[in-house]
Amino acid sequence: MTEVAHSKASNFVSSGRSIKGLLLPLTPPEEHGITDEGALKSLAEQHAIFYEASLDTRLDAVNYAYRDITTTCRAFPAVRSERFILAMAAWFSLLCQVDDIIEELDANLAQAALADSIAILKSNTKVYQGRLLDYDGGFVNPGCNQICALTKTFVRHLRELVPASIFIKVANDVLDVWENMGLERVVKDGPAPDVESYISLKSRTIGLSPFFDILQAELCREIDSKPEVHPSIMWQLERNVALAVTLQNDIIGLSKDLAHDHALNLISILTVTEDKSIEAAHEVVVAMHNRAVKAALCSASAIRLASHQHGFSYSSDYADSLLGFITRHFKWASSAQRYVP
Protein backbone atom coordinates (compact mmCIF):
# COMPACT_ATOMS: atom_id res chain seq x y z
CA MET A 1 0.00 0.00 0.00
CA THR A 2 1.46 3.38 -1.00
CA GLU A 3 1.89 6.22 1.50
CA VAL A 4 -1.05 8.11 -0.03
CA ALA A 5 -3.26 5.02 0.07
CA HIS A 6 -2.17 4.36 3.64
CA SER A 7 -3.17 7.91 4.60
CA LYS A 8 -6.58 7.55 2.95
CA ALA A 9 -7.13 4.24 4.68
CA SER A 10 -6.25 5.71 8.06
CA ASN A 11 -8.66 8.60 7.48
CA PHE A 12 -11.40 6.13 6.54
CA VAL A 13 -10.87 4.17 9.74
CA SER A 14 -10.70 7.24 11.98
CA SER A 15 -13.96 8.54 10.51
CA GLY A 16 -15.84 5.68 12.18
CA ARG A 17 -17.28 4.37 8.91
CA SER A 18 -15.30 1.14 9.11
CA ILE A 19 -17.74 -0.51 11.57
CA LYS A 20 -20.99 0.62 9.97
CA GLY A 21 -23.33 -1.74 8.16
CA LEU A 22 -22.58 -4.88 10.18
CA LEU A 23 -25.47 -7.30 10.76
CA LEU A 24 -25.51 -8.52 14.37
CA PRO A 25 -27.91 -11.04 15.94
CA LEU A 26 -30.01 -9.84 18.87
CA THR A 27 -28.93 -11.17 22.26
CA PRO A 28 -31.46 -12.11 24.97
CA PRO A 29 -31.55 -9.37 27.64
CA GLU A 30 -31.58 -11.97 30.43
CA GLU A 31 -28.16 -13.36 29.46
CA HIS A 32 -25.75 -11.91 31.99
CA GLY A 33 -23.78 -14.92 33.19
CA ILE A 34 -22.18 -14.83 36.62
CA THR A 35 -22.32 -11.28 37.99
CA ASP A 36 -21.79 -11.83 41.72
CA GLU A 37 -18.64 -9.90 42.60
CA GLY A 38 -17.57 -12.37 45.25
CA ALA A 39 -17.87 -15.31 42.86
CA LEU A 40 -15.93 -13.47 40.15
CA LYS A 41 -13.12 -12.56 42.56
CA SER A 42 -12.94 -16.15 43.80
CA LEU A 43 -12.57 -17.40 40.23
CA ALA A 44 -9.92 -14.75 39.55
CA GLU A 45 -7.91 -15.95 42.57
CA GLN A 46 -7.87 -19.46 41.09
CA HIS A 47 -7.07 -18.25 37.57
CA ALA A 48 -4.20 -15.96 38.66
CA ILE A 49 -1.77 -18.87 38.24
CA PHE A 50 -1.50 -17.88 34.56
CA TYR A 51 0.04 -14.51 35.43
CA GLU A 52 2.07 -15.09 38.60
CA ALA A 53 5.29 -15.90 36.72
CA SER A 54 5.20 -12.80 34.49
CA LEU A 55 3.93 -10.10 36.90
CA ASP A 56 5.59 -8.53 39.94
CA THR A 57 2.86 -8.98 42.54
CA ARG A 58 0.05 -11.37 43.37
CA LEU A 59 -2.36 -8.42 43.20
CA ASP A 60 -1.34 -7.67 39.61
CA ALA A 61 -1.85 -11.33 38.70
CA VAL A 62 -5.31 -11.38 40.26
CA ASN A 63 -6.28 -8.17 38.46
CA TYR A 64 -5.29 -9.63 35.09
CA ALA A 65 -7.07 -12.86 35.99
CA TYR A 66 -10.21 -10.93 36.93
CA ARG A 67 -10.20 -9.38 33.46
CA ASP A 68 -10.04 -12.84 31.86
CA ILE A 69 -12.84 -14.20 34.04
CA THR A 70 -15.22 -11.29 33.41
CA THR A 71 -14.47 -11.37 29.68
CA THR A 72 -15.23 -15.10 29.58
CA CYS A 73 -18.48 -14.71 31.52
CA ARG A 74 -19.66 -11.94 29.22
CA ALA A 75 -18.70 -13.84 26.08
CA PHE A 76 -20.44 -17.06 27.12
CA PRO A 77 -23.05 -16.19 29.78
CA ALA A 78 -24.77 -19.57 29.35
CA VAL A 79 -21.78 -21.24 31.03
CA ARG A 80 -22.51 -21.37 34.75
CA SER A 81 -20.19 -24.17 35.88
CA GLU A 82 -17.21 -22.60 37.63
CA ARG A 83 -14.95 -25.37 36.34
CA PHE A 84 -15.93 -24.69 32.74
CA ILE A 85 -15.58 -20.92 33.21
CA LEU A 86 -12.07 -21.48 34.54
CA ALA A 87 -11.32 -23.81 31.62
CA MET A 88 -12.45 -21.16 29.12
CA ALA A 89 -10.45 -18.47 30.92
CA ALA A 90 -7.40 -20.74 30.87
CA TRP A 91 -7.62 -21.07 27.10
CA PHE A 92 -8.31 -17.34 26.66
CA SER A 93 -5.21 -16.49 28.68
CA LEU A 94 -3.00 -19.00 26.87
CA LEU A 95 -4.22 -17.87 23.44
CA CYS A 96 -3.73 -14.15 24.09
CA GLN A 97 -0.32 -14.50 25.74
CA VAL A 98 1.06 -16.90 23.13
CA ASP A 99 -0.25 -14.71 20.31
CA ASP A 100 1.45 -11.65 21.84
CA ILE A 101 4.75 -13.49 22.29
CA ILE A 102 4.71 -14.92 18.76
CA GLU A 103 4.19 -11.42 17.36
CA GLU A 104 7.51 -10.35 18.89
CA LEU A 105 9.55 -13.35 17.69
CA ASP A 106 11.15 -13.81 14.29
CA ALA A 107 9.71 -16.55 12.10
CA ASN A 108 12.22 -19.24 13.12
CA LEU A 109 11.85 -18.67 16.85
CA ALA A 110 8.07 -18.47 16.51
CA GLN A 111 8.07 -21.86 14.83
CA ALA A 112 10.35 -23.28 17.53
CA ALA A 113 8.17 -21.94 20.34
CA LEU A 114 4.99 -23.34 18.81
CA ALA A 115 6.71 -26.66 18.10
CA ASP A 116 7.64 -26.97 21.78
CA SER A 117 4.09 -26.17 22.88
CA ILE A 118 2.72 -28.67 20.37
CA ALA A 119 5.07 -31.35 21.71
CA ILE A 120 3.91 -30.69 25.28
CA LEU A 121 0.25 -30.92 24.25
CA LYS A 122 0.80 -34.09 22.23
CA SER A 123 2.65 -35.71 25.10
CA ASN A 124 -0.44 -35.24 27.21
CA THR A 125 -2.98 -36.48 24.68
CA LYS A 126 -1.28 -39.68 23.53
CA VAL A 127 -0.41 -42.64 25.71
CA TYR A 128 2.71 -44.59 24.76
CA GLN A 129 3.35 -47.93 26.46
CA GLY A 130 0.80 -47.17 29.15
CA ARG A 131 2.24 -43.85 30.32
CA LEU A 132 2.11 -40.20 29.32
CA LEU A 133 5.16 -38.69 27.68
CA ASP A 134 6.99 -36.05 29.69
CA TYR A 135 8.25 -33.36 27.32
CA ASP A 136 10.35 -30.50 28.71
CA GLY A 137 10.59 -28.27 25.66
CA GLY A 138 13.59 -26.73 23.95
CA PHE A 139 14.23 -23.63 26.09
CA VAL A 140 16.13 -21.70 23.42
CA ASN A 141 14.74 -18.20 24.03
CA PRO A 142 12.91 -16.32 26.84
CA GLY A 143 9.79 -16.11 24.69
CA CYS A 144 9.97 -19.83 23.95
CA ASN A 145 10.51 -20.53 27.65
CA GLN A 146 7.44 -18.52 28.54
CA ILE A 147 5.26 -20.33 26.00
CA CYS A 148 6.47 -23.71 27.32
CA ALA A 149 5.70 -22.68 30.90
CA LEU A 150 2.26 -21.36 29.95
CA THR A 151 1.45 -24.54 28.04
CA LYS A 152 2.38 -26.72 31.00
CA THR A 153 0.27 -24.57 33.33
CA PHE A 154 -2.64 -24.82 30.90
CA VAL A 155 -2.35 -28.61 30.65
CA ARG A 156 -2.18 -29.10 34.43
CA HIS A 157 -5.05 -26.69 35.06
CA LEU A 158 -7.31 -28.04 32.32
CA ARG A 159 -6.84 -31.66 33.38
CA GLU A 160 -8.07 -30.73 36.86
CA LEU A 161 -11.10 -28.83 35.53
CA VAL A 162 -12.71 -30.97 32.82
CA PRO A 163 -13.34 -34.68 32.16
CA ALA A 164 -10.64 -36.56 30.25
CA SER A 165 -12.74 -36.75 27.07
CA ILE A 166 -13.20 -32.96 27.04
CA PHE A 167 -9.51 -32.41 27.82
CA ILE A 168 -8.49 -34.50 24.80
CA LYS A 169 -10.95 -32.68 22.55
CA VAL A 170 -9.82 -29.23 23.68
CA ALA A 171 -6.12 -30.13 23.49
CA ASN A 172 -6.49 -31.46 19.95
CA ASP A 173 -8.22 -28.25 18.89
CA VAL A 174 -5.45 -26.19 20.51
CA LEU A 175 -2.99 -28.21 18.42
CA ASP A 176 -4.91 -27.16 15.31
CA VAL A 177 -4.75 -23.50 16.38
CA TRP A 178 -0.98 -23.69 17.01
CA GLU A 179 -0.26 -25.47 13.72
CA ASN A 180 -2.17 -22.81 11.80
CA MET A 181 -0.58 -20.02 13.84
CA GLY A 182 2.80 -21.33 12.72
CA LEU A 183 1.62 -21.32 9.12
CA GLU A 184 0.25 -17.81 9.59
CA ARG A 185 3.67 -16.63 10.75
CA VAL A 186 5.17 -17.95 7.48
CA VAL A 187 2.39 -16.47 5.33
CA LYS A 188 2.83 -13.12 7.05
CA ASP A 189 6.34 -12.77 5.59
CA GLY A 190 5.32 -13.88 2.07
CA PRO A 191 3.06 -12.60 -0.71
CA ALA A 192 -0.57 -11.82 0.06
CA PRO A 193 -2.66 -15.03 0.18
CA ASP A 194 -5.88 -15.52 -1.78
CA VAL A 195 -9.16 -14.90 0.04
CA GLU A 196 -10.07 -18.56 0.55
CA SER A 197 -6.66 -19.47 1.98
CA TYR A 198 -6.68 -16.42 4.23
CA ILE A 199 -10.11 -17.20 5.68
CA SER A 200 -9.25 -20.87 6.18
CA LEU A 201 -6.15 -19.83 8.11
CA LYS A 202 -7.50 -16.96 10.20
CA SER A 203 -10.76 -18.68 11.15
CA ARG A 204 -8.59 -21.27 12.90
CA THR A 205 -5.99 -19.02 14.51
CA ILE A 206 -8.67 -16.94 16.27
CA GLY A 207 -9.00 -20.00 18.50
CA LEU A 208 -12.77 -20.45 18.83
CA SER A 209 -12.92 -24.26 18.63
CA PRO A 210 -11.66 -24.89 22.19
CA PHE A 211 -14.27 -22.44 23.50
CA PHE A 212 -16.96 -24.23 21.51
CA ASP A 213 -15.81 -27.60 22.90
CA ILE A 214 -16.24 -26.38 26.48
CA LEU A 215 -19.53 -24.61 25.73
CA GLN A 216 -20.94 -27.77 24.18
CA ALA A 217 -19.79 -29.79 27.18
CA GLU A 218 -21.69 -27.39 29.45
CA LEU A 219 -24.92 -27.15 27.44
CA CYS A 220 -25.14 -30.55 25.77
CA ARG A 221 -23.81 -32.83 28.50
CA GLU A 222 -27.13 -34.67 28.90
CA ILE A 223 -27.61 -35.55 25.24
CA ASP A 224 -27.58 -39.28 24.60
CA SER A 225 -25.43 -41.02 22.00
CA LYS A 226 -27.87 -40.12 19.22
CA PRO A 227 -27.84 -36.33 18.78
CA GLU A 228 -31.09 -34.73 17.69
CA VAL A 229 -29.29 -32.44 15.22
CA HIS A 230 -27.26 -33.67 12.26
CA PRO A 231 -23.56 -32.89 12.86
CA SER A 232 -23.24 -31.14 9.49
CA ILE A 233 -25.79 -28.49 10.53
CA MET A 234 -23.92 -27.85 13.77
CA TRP A 235 -20.64 -27.69 11.85
CA GLN A 236 -22.09 -25.14 9.43
CA LEU A 237 -23.24 -22.99 12.34
CA GLU A 238 -19.82 -23.11 14.02
CA ARG A 239 -18.08 -22.43 10.71
CA ASN A 240 -20.16 -19.33 9.95
CA VAL A 241 -19.85 -17.97 13.49
CA ALA A 242 -16.07 -18.36 13.22
CA LEU A 243 -16.10 -16.63 9.83
CA ALA A 244 -18.17 -13.70 11.13
CA VAL A 245 -15.86 -13.25 14.12
CA THR A 246 -12.77 -13.50 11.91
CA LEU A 247 -14.06 -10.72 9.68
CA GLN A 248 -15.06 -8.62 12.69
CA ASN A 249 -11.45 -8.80 13.85
CA ASP A 250 -10.27 -7.46 10.50
CA ILE A 251 -12.90 -4.72 10.35
CA ILE A 252 -12.41 -3.55 13.93
CA GLY A 253 -8.65 -4.13 13.94
CA LEU A 254 -7.98 -2.37 10.62
CA SER A 255 -6.71 0.79 12.31
CA LYS A 256 -4.18 -1.12 14.43
CA ASP A 257 -3.12 -3.30 11.50
CA LEU A 258 -2.49 -0.23 9.35
CA ALA A 259 -0.57 1.51 12.13
CA HIS A 260 1.71 -1.51 12.57
CA ASP A 261 1.95 -2.42 8.87
CA HIS A 262 0.28 -5.79 9.42
CA ALA A 263 -0.52 -7.11 5.96
CA LEU A 264 -2.68 -10.00 7.21
CA ASN A 265 -5.98 -8.17 7.19
CA LEU A 266 -8.49 -9.10 4.50
CA ILE A 267 -9.34 -5.47 3.78
CA SER A 268 -5.67 -4.66 3.20
CA ILE A 269 -5.22 -7.83 1.16
CA LEU A 270 -8.08 -6.89 -1.17
CA THR A 271 -6.53 -3.47 -1.80
CA VAL A 272 -3.46 -5.32 -3.11
CA THR A 273 -4.76 -8.49 -4.78
CA GLU A 274 -7.85 -6.92 -6.36
CA ASP A 275 -6.65 -3.30 -6.56
CA LYS A 276 -9.63 -2.04 -4.57
CA SER A 277 -9.88 1.18 -2.62
CA ILE A 278 -10.06 0.81 1.15
CA GLU A 279 -13.75 1.75 1.02
CA ALA A 280 -14.55 -0.84 -1.65
CA ALA A 281 -12.56 -3.53 0.14
CA HIS A 282 -14.36 -2.69 3.36
CA GLU A 283 -17.74 -3.08 1.64
CA VAL A 284 -16.73 -6.52 0.36
CA VAL A 285 -15.66 -7.69 3.82
CA VAL A 286 -18.78 -6.31 5.52
CA ALA A 287 -20.93 -8.10 2.93
CA MET A 288 -19.03 -11.34 3.60
CA HIS A 289 -19.59 -10.87 7.33
CA ASN A 290 -23.30 -10.29 6.88
CA ARG A 291 -23.69 -13.35 4.65
CA ALA A 292 -21.97 -15.44 7.32
CA VAL A 293 -24.33 -14.08 9.98
CA LYS A 294 -27.39 -14.82 7.83
CA ALA A 295 -26.13 -18.36 7.18
CA ALA A 296 -25.58 -18.82 10.93
CA LEU A 297 -29.13 -17.63 11.60
CA CYS A 298 -30.47 -20.18 9.10
CA SER A 299 -28.48 -23.00 10.69
CA ALA A 300 -29.66 -21.98 14.15
CA SER A 301 -33.29 -22.03 12.97
CA ALA A 302 -32.83 -25.56 11.62
CA ILE A 303 -31.26 -26.63 14.92
CA ARG A 304 -34.14 -25.13 16.94
CA LEU A 305 -36.67 -26.96 14.76
CA ALA A 306 -34.88 -30.29 15.12
CA SER A 307 -34.51 -29.81 18.87
CA HIS A 308 -38.22 -29.03 19.22
CA GLN A 309 -39.19 -32.09 17.21
CA HIS A 310 -37.11 -34.32 19.49
CA GLY A 311 -38.24 -32.64 22.69
CA PHE A 312 -34.74 -31.42 23.61
CA SER A 313 -33.40 -27.91 24.13
CA TYR A 314 -29.69 -28.66 24.53
CA SER A 315 -28.59 -28.07 20.94
CA SER A 316 -30.97 -25.12 20.65
CA ASP A 317 -29.35 -23.50 23.69
CA TYR A 318 -25.92 -24.11 22.16
CA ALA A 319 -26.98 -22.54 18.86
CA ASP A 320 -28.44 -19.50 20.62
CA SER A 321 -25.25 -19.07 22.62
CA LEU A 322 -23.12 -19.14 19.46
CA LEU A 323 -25.35 -16.58 17.74
CA GLY A 324 -25.17 -14.32 20.78
CA PHE A 325 -21.40 -14.64 20.79
CA ILE A 326 -21.22 -12.92 17.38
CA THR A 327 -22.73 -9.79 18.92
CA ARG A 328 -20.96 -10.06 22.25
CA HIS A 329 -17.59 -10.48 20.50
CA PHE A 330 -18.24 -7.37 18.41
CA LYS A 331 -18.99 -5.32 21.53
CA TRP A 332 -15.91 -6.64 23.31
CA ALA A 333 -13.55 -6.19 20.36
CA SER A 334 -14.83 -2.66 19.75
CA SER A 335 -13.50 -1.58 23.13
CA ALA A 336 -10.65 -4.05 23.76
CA GLN A 337 -7.10 -2.72 23.91
CA ARG A 338 -5.94 -5.57 21.63
CA TYR A 339 -7.55 -3.74 18.68
CA VAL A 340 -6.32 -0.23 19.50
CA PRO A 341 -3.26 1.14 17.61
Global pTM reads 0.90
Torsion angle, alpha carbons of 203, 205, 206, 212, to 10: 80
Determine contact, residues 57/283, Cβ cutoff 8 Å: no
Pairing verdict, β 131-132 and 127-128: antiparallel
Write out pLDDT tens, residues 93-107. Answer: 999 999 999 999 988
131 pLDDT band (50/70/90 cuts)?
Answer: very low
306 pLDDT band (50/70/90 cuts)?
Answer: confident
pLDDT given for residue 307 in this prediction: 78
- DSSP string of 226-241, one letter each residue: S-SS-HHHHHHHHHHH
pLDDT given for residue 28 in this prediction: 67
Mean pLDDT of 273-296: 96
Mean pLDDT of 301-325: 84
139 pLDDT band (50/70/90 cuts)?
Answer: low
Strand, helix or coil for residue 128: strand
Write out pLDDT tens, residues 227-248. Answer: 556 778 899 999 999 999 999 9
pLDDT given for residue 133 in this prediction: 46
CA-to-CA separations, 323 to 44, 118, 165, 198, 235, in angstroms, rounded: 27, 31, 26, 23, 13
Write out pLDDT tens, residues 25-81. Answer: 987 665 667 888 999 999 999 999 999 888 779 999 999 999 999 999 999 999 999
Q: CA geometry: angle at 232 spanning 228 and 234, to 5°?
A: 65
224 pLDDT band (50/70/90 cuts)?
Answer: very low
> Which stretch, 33-47, 285-299, 326-340, has highest mean pLDDT?
285-299
